[in-house]
Chains A and B, each alone.
Chain A
Amino acid sequence: MSARHERAVAFTLNGRRVGATVATHETILEVLQREFGLFGARESCGQGLCGCCTLLVNGTAVSGCLYFAAFADGAELTTVEGLAKNGELHPIQRAFVEKSGFQCGFCTPGFILMTKELLSRHPQPTEDEIRHYLSGNLCRCAAYPDIIAAVKRAAELMRA
């Protein structure tokens, strides 16, 4: 890859200032994996439809498989690896464990991050709001009833 197709970017990743040289065609997902060893955001459909690659950019959920790494310059990025603090799981993560909101787990980080955006905007979400926010996250194991229960539990834990 030639130098003119690369650029240097700097962003905040899970609270830490970082930099990387990225190719202009590279997605943020590839850069997270290659440069930072973060695999919580995962490429599955590669078309922004399944939500497995979800991460938060400035607090808003985006599909990492479609988001060019170069766009991340100056942004604040959160991946599922950034949620636990001092070895303590985030309340949303605890709620997913408590309600077993997953089976194979491949889609789980995406659901957790989308839930984070949901609860930041709607601390007491209605069932319709939950379904609306999570409509871009698919679970092929179809653990949906447990996922919805986990989101409701997460809202309780975060209010507590």
Chain B
Amino acid sequence: MADTIVVPEAPVADADAGRALREVGRSMPRLESTAKVDGSVEYIHNLRLPGMLYGRIHRSSIAHGRIVRIDASAALACDGVHAVITADDVATIVPNPYYGPAFHDQPILALGKVRHVGEPVAVVLATDPHVAEEAADLVSVEYEPFDAVFDEVAAAAPGAPIIHDELKPAGMFTDLEHVAGRRGTNVALDARLRTGDIEKGFAQADQVFEHTFRTGKVIHATFEPMVSVAEPAGPGGLTIHTASQSPSFVRSEIARLLGWPENRVRVRTAFLGGGFGAKLYIKLEAMAAVCALLVRKPVRIALTMDEQFYTITKHGATVLIRTGVTNDGRITARQVETYWNGGAYADIGPRVTQKSGFTAAGPYDIEHVALDNYAVYTNDPPAGALRGFGISQLVWAYERQADIIARALGIDPLEFRRRNALRNGRKHATGTVVYGMEVEAVLDRLAEKMEWHRPFDRGSGTIRRGRGIAIGVKACVSPTTSTAAVHVYGDGSCAVHTSTVDMGQASDTTLAQIAAEVLGLPTPDVRIVHPDTDVTPYDMATLGSRSTFHMGNAVRRAAEDVRAQLLRIAAGALGVDMGDLECRDGAVLSRAGAKLTFREVMLARFAMQAGTIVGVGSYTPSYTKPDPRTGYSPNITPFWMLGGAGAEVEVDCETGRVTVTKLVNVADVGRAINPASVERQLCPACSICRAS
């Protein structure tokens, strides 16, 4: 039913070598395929350590209020309960226990007040998970309830209950600095974009359309529920095993909370049983770390499926969109005001608000644009990223309105989009010139696959049929940085050290293909070392459609570094020029036909079958921070992503049942490293978003 099309580019030769690519651009199965079908694949979910305690969270039963008293005596009286940890205990080792990537606003355990139902108030540690579960229910908390606010528009209005006394940006993201110290507001971030003269644009319009669209919250529901296991590592050290999309961030944030240097905190991950944005930045890690340090034992905190609903969601949003058009279907002005329901703690919400917010005018060429995005605290559970980093909420609004406008003007919806498409070489509303964004190719392919030009049977009687298309644009998250290392061992075998997390998107395989391409190895011969901050270099996080590009480039550079070292050694050993050598089939080959296997190169270098050669590569695209008054930046993103979808649906007018009878995805993906894997990403992404 669902059909996914990747818009292909012509085969590209490797620019520096002038030869056809061998590993990159080829569809291949995941490197870990066998482990995923025989049950042996590693997830942190499986980890059990000797002497480990099981932590179970006692959660707030109210949405907003002051904690009057916590009584843990009944819980402590249970056989097998080792300790009950509250904010008072946390304070003994973390005096300022507020964490978060965007704002330092979330306490490790509720401190003084609670801000959403399900907020962690205490952790029971027990030798048996069932005992921990029962004892957690026996913790008794008395609250003084406050008024709560759940709607993002109401929470941003004057007079709403205030959820945080003061805004405390974390400092990592310079785009958020200007809100520091603001008080008496639930608006965590107001991100503006102004281009042209919006009033003039509306004056040029023949008609102005104004609508409000709302989207609800959605839960990631990763099938491997969130899990972190922390263990003291000797005096002054700590190891955290965690199902996280951002091990590097966990290390720095835990070190900051503890006041330790980062080199005393080790964070490692394995394969994730799903991520989708839920396991980003920091979730259970600080809680598990503090518990482990307090009791000096390994502590496992794992959520149940229902606890995930209290932990992170996709943002619900209210989008007010006003668009001026001429009668011939040209958009003259667009004003969008979006309220993002960020829940009680910022998490990555302000980044979602800003990074998606500036795309709210859509992939359209509009002279006069005014965008206002508000990240709003409410008394819901925190909101963050979910497959698209806030883009789908906006696409829902601007593409619904595109159809409404097209219908009102009597213009074909496809044609309306064509007339307004943002083409390469034109400036996006941020001021960044767009390149590599093939709107027309995507629309052409959509039209072809949907057979848009053919008459469409709209049904009759109780079964009616309809069809629609939509396109959306996303800018890759910026600024970010990735570093990778490629090791060649004494026997000539090769491993890539990267902190990119494979959560099902096949990044291990993709990155191995890139290293294999540079080093002339078969991809399955490249081993990927999973994130372990003691070993693998820094990566900002696995998020925002950035890994293949950023980490891919870092791996490429690291592999090139290793290749240069291998060639230099081989050139010396063979007495030839480096320029006459290439890496192929696990060996260095000369034009004259001489050959040194990697194994022989290592022997030549170390005079024994031993040693290590390490290549390092980093990738940090340039970026210009937007002007906070105008949102203007000539360099807002390293690349744009353009996608489209078409659907045919049947509605049973008697029962209301809607059946999707055809679904087409089209994406401009540039050059696919592993085409089958790209298609497998796009098609299910569309299924998840359809259910959302």
Contact = CB atoms under 8 A, between A and B. Distances in A.
Interface of A: 1, 25, 33-34, 38-42, 44-47, 50, 52, 79-81, 83-84, 89, 93, 96-98, 100, 102-109, 112, 138-146
Contact of B36 (A34, A52, A108): A108
A105 B676 contact: no
B505 interface: yes
Contacts of A143: 680, 684
What 4 pairs between A and B have smallest CB-CB spacing? A40-B39, A104-B504, A106-B273, A105-B36
Contacts of A146: 680
20 contacts: A1-B128, A50-B223, A52-B223, A80-B38, A81-B40, A89-B38, A93-B37, A97-B29, A100-B29, A104-B271, A104-B272, A104-B275, A104-B503, A106-B43, A107-B223, A140-B222, A141-B504, A141-B684, A143-B680, A144-B684
Given A44-B225, A100-B33, A104-B275, 18 more contacts: A39-B46, A40-B40, A42-B43, A42-B223, A46-B305, A93-B34, A93-B37, A100-B680, A103-B680, A104-B223, A104-B271, A105-B32, A105-B41, A105-B273, A138-B223, A140-B276, A141-B274, A144-B687
Interface in B204-225: 220-225
B39 A39 contact: yes
B680 A44 contact: no
Contacts of B677: 100
B305 A44 contact: yes
Contacts of B503: 104
B603 to A, nearest CB: 33
B680 A140 contact: no
A19 B276 CA distance: 40
B36 to A, nearest CB: 3
Nearest to A99: B29
A38 B39 contact: yes
Nearest to A110: B223
A81 B2 contact: no
Interface centre among A25, A81, A140 (most CB of B within 10 A): A140
Q: How large is the interface on B (under 10, 10 to 19, 20 to 34, 35 or more residues)?
A: 35 or more
B81 to A, nearest CB: 14
Contacts of A80: 37-39
A122 B258 CA distance: 59
Nearest to A105: B36
B37 A145 contact: no
Interface centre among A44, A45, A103, A112 (most CB of B within 10 A): A103
B305 A45 contact: yes
Interface centre among B128, B683, B684 (most CB of A within 10 A): B684
A40 B676 CA distance: 26
Contact of A89 (B34, B128, B305, B506): B34
A104 B273 CA distance: 5
Contact of B224 (A41, A106, A145): A106
A134 to B, nearest CB: 15
A31 to B, nearest CB: 13
A79 B220 CA distance: 27
B45 interface: yes
Contacts of B40: 40, 81
Nearest to A82: B39
Given A104-B224, A143-B680, A42 B273 contact: yes
